């Protein structure tokens, strides 16, 4: 009888719901922090950011309160919070991370510049109770490798001394000088938008001009922009628009360049596209690693509204550290307040995208060319490329060159010409050995192929692609095998885990690159390419395939 009574008394209070109980104090704290933010599912990640910024971590009691306020299950909130790398979820009984985090990039360009050694020295010289030293994937500052962030403050060409200096100073982002709305309008900015809105320039005429200019999507896929506008316009309203500013491909930083120098090029391009296609609202999805660009966009969108130029409402959404959200359907899932898991296709997002509506999606650089093309004409843009390769491109160049950075150059320029004419040549004491034409997923090729045009369609017959035009240059001082291992560690870290070929395949390739089994590697790369849901798994093995084909001596 006594035993039965003890068991009965230990049971939960049946008058309360199952699971963690919401604390009134935590509920009040979260409600005050959210203020007037709408309690909608698509605002969940924005709410998580507010909590992370305020408390430096996401504590269980606050997550429970957030679930209550958003009328979601605690499991739904937890699965979203734990999916993204920039959210620090602290479980009951765990210790919160140190008050300040120093993020040091260890992706390929930064690894070439000595990031791993820097990370080790920083860990040995800092107090872990006060400062967390965190190796992270590419943060979009490859031209200033090794790159780091102390809090939100960027540290380019990071050394122990520069990071110590940043630790002693303010930890907020430093906003660079950029072209404001006033400056942009002084040179004719927003005239093309006004012509579209007034009807002076018809939507069909604008689409025809983009098609004749042969402008392509410059986020990686290269789909013709004019054709995309016409496809989305053909579906029933309401239509929506998204701008993918979540460039996370190692070696890519061109979108950051445009946003931090000339944000209104993209903003006008986006507003023109929305007006021409008939999109009711625009969402800009910006990677969390770009706090400077976020502040610039916040200021300039507000300036547009005050000037009466915001023809279509714009919402600025903040990513949370997930490379997979560069894939358009995963980005849309994230905007909707979910984990960034790529969708199965069809349907494509042009038909059923954000909130199930037809959605036009573009990246930053593509939109940045739109106003100039409409102003100057299709021939102006198309005529600036190398023969057979219309247009201009923003090449992100990093690695063993004298002058890394974003290079505005003709489409179809060769790597050799890009290095010699735009990068000041190879770095002192280095000779070209290999290069990645399209970041970690575009493959790695030997110097003998450096005269091929850097454009869509050129590297595909060789099992690669230029993608977002992220060029990483390797020299005779570098091990291609180590470079490929670096890319594969990145993909293993960033796989969303939804499909087995990618989730297990990337991890297994990391092991095989340490102890090479060439037949097994080739078989695994083929399975990943054929069976993965999205481009991450399909392209992750490109560098491995090229290592086997072009650099077999490094696997001996």
> What is the per-residue pLDDT for 147?
98
Report the candidate in 322, 324, 335 with the shortest Cα–Cα distance to residue 45: 335
Q: Is residue 141 part of a domain?
A: yes
Cβ within 8 Å of residue 198, ≥6 positions away: none
Residues 6+ apart with CB under 8 A from 411: 384, 385, 386, 389, 390, 391, 392, 393, 453, 454, 455
Query: What does the pLDDT look like over 490-523, one tens digit per residue?
Result: 999 999 999 999 999 999 999 999 999 999 999 9
Omega of the bond prior to 146 within 30 degrees of 0, cis? yes
Peptide bond into 238 cis (omega under 30): yes
Residues 405 and 454 in one domain: yes
Contacts of range 387-393, beta carbons closer than 8 Å, 24 or more positions apart: 387/412, 388/412, 388/453, 389/453, 389/455, 390/213, 390/214, 391/213, 391/214, 391/215, 391/216, 393/218, 393/454, 393/455, 393/469
Does residue 209 share a domain with residue 130? Answer: no
Task: State the residue range of the domain holding 51.
Answer: 20-90
What is the pLDDT, as a whole number, of residue 536?
Answer: 92
**Do both 85 and 104 map to the same domain?**
no
Give dist(CA 539, CA 490) in Å, integer.
Answer: 13
What is the percentage of the chain residues whose pLDDT exceeds 70?
A: 97
Q: What is the pLDDT of residue 521?
A: 95
- The reply to whether 242 falls in a domain is yes
Say if residue 253 is in the same domain as residue 396.
Answer: no
| Mean pLDDT for all residues in the chain | 95
Which of the listed residues 90, 116, 150 is the one where a domain comes to its end? Answer: 90
Give domain status of residue 4, yes or no.
no
pLDDT in tens, 230-252: 999 999 999 999 999 999 999 99
The pLDDT value recorded for residue 8 is 47
Q: pLDDT: is 124 or 10 the higher one?
A: 124
- Would residue 7 count as lying in a domain? no
CATH number at residue 72: 1.10.10.1590
Do 427 and 509 share a domain, yes or no? Answer: yes
Would 173 be classed as within a structural domain?
Answer: no
Examine the domain organization and report whether 462 and 529 are in the same domain: yes
Q: What is the CATH number for 107?
A: 3.40.30.10
Q: Answer yes or no: do 370 and 419 share one domain.
A: no
Q: Judge if 267 and 396 occupy the same domain.
A: no
Banded model confidence at residue 94, pLDDT cuts 50, 70, 90: confident
Domain boundary among the residues 48, 65, 90 is at: 90
With CA atoms as reference, report the closest residue to 31 among 74, 62, 55. Answer: 62
Q: Cα(508)–Cα(491) distance, rounded to whole angstroms?
A: 11
How far is CA 132 from each of CA 119, 148, 543, rounded to the nearest angstrom?
11, 13, 32
Over the stretch 311-340, which tens digit does the pLDDT of each residue have?
Answer: 999 999 999 999 999 999 999 999 999 999
Q: Are residues 63 and 105 in the same domain?
A: no
> What residues contact 249, with CB distance under 8 A and at least 6 apart?
138, 220, 323, 326, 438, 439, 440, 441, 467, 468, 470
CA distance 437 to 466: 5
* ∠ CA 93-94-95, rounded to 5°: 125
Same domain, 262 and 336: yes
Residue 13 placed within a domain: no
Instruction: Give residue-wise pLDDT tens across range 59-93.
Output: 999 999 999 999 999 999 999 999 999 999 998 88
CA 312 to CA 195: how far, in whole Å? 15
Q: What is the pLDDT of residues 219-233, one digit of tens each?
A: 988 999 999 999 999
Q: What is the CATH number of the domain that holds 218?
A: 3.40.50.11540
- The verdict on 248 and 138 lying in the same domain is no
**pLDDT at 9 > cutoff 50:** no
Please name the residue that has the structure tokens 């296609």. 277
Long-range contact list for 345-351, CB < 8 A, 24+ apart? 350/228, 350/231, 350/232, 350/235, 351/235
pLDDT at 444: 98
Q: Tell me the CATH number at 411.
A: 3.10.20.600
Residues 204 and 334 in one domain: yes
| Residue 177 within a domain | no
Token pair for 382: 């198309």
| Number of domains the chain contains | 4
Does residue 310 belong to any structural domain of this protein? Answer: yes
């Amino acid at each position: 009888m006594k035993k039965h009574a003890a068991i009965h008394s230990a049971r939960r209070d049946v008058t309360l719901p199952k699971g963690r109980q919401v604390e009134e104090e935590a509920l009040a704290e979260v409600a005050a922090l959210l203020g007037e933010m709408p309690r909608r599912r698509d605002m969940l990640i924005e709410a998580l950011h507010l909590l992370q910024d305020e408390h430096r971590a996401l504590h269980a009691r606050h997550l429970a309160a957030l679930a209550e306020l958003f009328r979601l299950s605690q499991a739904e909130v937890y699965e979203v919070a734990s999916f993204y790398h920039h959210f620090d979820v602290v479980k009951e009984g765990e210790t919160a991370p140190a008050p300040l985090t120093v993020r040091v990039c260890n992706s390929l360009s930064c690894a070439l510049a000595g990031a791993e050694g820097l990370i080790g020295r920083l860990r040995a010289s800092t107090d872990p109770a006060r400062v967390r030293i965190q190796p992270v994937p590419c943060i979009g500052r490859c031209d200033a490798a090794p790159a780091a962030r102390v809090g939100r403050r960027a540290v380019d060409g990071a050394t122990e001394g520069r990071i110590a200096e940043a630790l002693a100073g303010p930890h907020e982002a430093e906003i660079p000088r950029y072209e404001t709305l006033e400056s942009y309008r002084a040179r004719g900015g927003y005239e093309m938008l006004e012509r579209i809105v007034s009807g002076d320039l018809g939507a069909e005429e604008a689409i025809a001009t983009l098609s004749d200019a042969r402008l392509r999507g410059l986020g990686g896929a290269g789909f013709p922009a004019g054709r995309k506008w016409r496809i989305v316009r053909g579906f029933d309203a309401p239509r929506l628009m998204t701008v993918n500013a979540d460039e996370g491909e190692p070696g890519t930083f061109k979108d950051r360049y445009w946003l931090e120098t000339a944000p209104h090029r993209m903003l006008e391009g986006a507003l023109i596209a929305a007006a021409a296609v008939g999109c009711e609202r625009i969402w800009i999805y910006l990677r969390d690693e770009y706090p400077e660009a976020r502040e610039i966009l916040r200021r300039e969108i507000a300036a547009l509204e005050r000037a009466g130029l915001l023809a279509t409402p714009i919402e600025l959404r903040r990513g949370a550290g997930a490379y997979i959200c560069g894939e358009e359907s995963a980005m849309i899932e994230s905007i909707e307040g979910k984990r960034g898991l790529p969708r199965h296709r069809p349907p494509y997002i042009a038909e059923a995208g954000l909130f199930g509506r037809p959605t036009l999606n573009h990246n930053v650089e593509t939109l940045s060319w739109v106003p100039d093309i409409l102003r100057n004409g299709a021939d102006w843009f198309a005529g600036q490329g190398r023969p057979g390769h219309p247009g201009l491109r923003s090449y992100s160049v990093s690695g063993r060159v004298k002058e890394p950075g974003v290079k505005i150059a003709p489409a179809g320029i060769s790597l050799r010409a890009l290095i010699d004419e735009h990068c000041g040549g190879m770095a002192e004491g280095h000779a070209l050995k290999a290069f990645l034409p399209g970041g970690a997923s575009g493959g790695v090729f030997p110097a003998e192929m450096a005269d091929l045009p850097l454009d869509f369609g050129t590297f595909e017959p060789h099992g690669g692609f230029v993608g977002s035009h992220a060029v990483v240059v390797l020299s005779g001082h570098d091990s291609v095998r180590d470079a490929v291992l670096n890319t594969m560690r990145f993909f293993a870290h960033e796989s969303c885990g939804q499909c087995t070929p990618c989730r297990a395949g990337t991890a297994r390739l990391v092991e095989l690159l340490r102890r090479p089994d060439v037949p097994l590697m080739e078989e695994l790369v083929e399975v990943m390419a054929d069976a993965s849901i999205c481009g991450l798994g399909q392209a992750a093995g490109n560098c491995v395939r090229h290592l086997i084909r072009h650099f077999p001596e490094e696997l001996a």
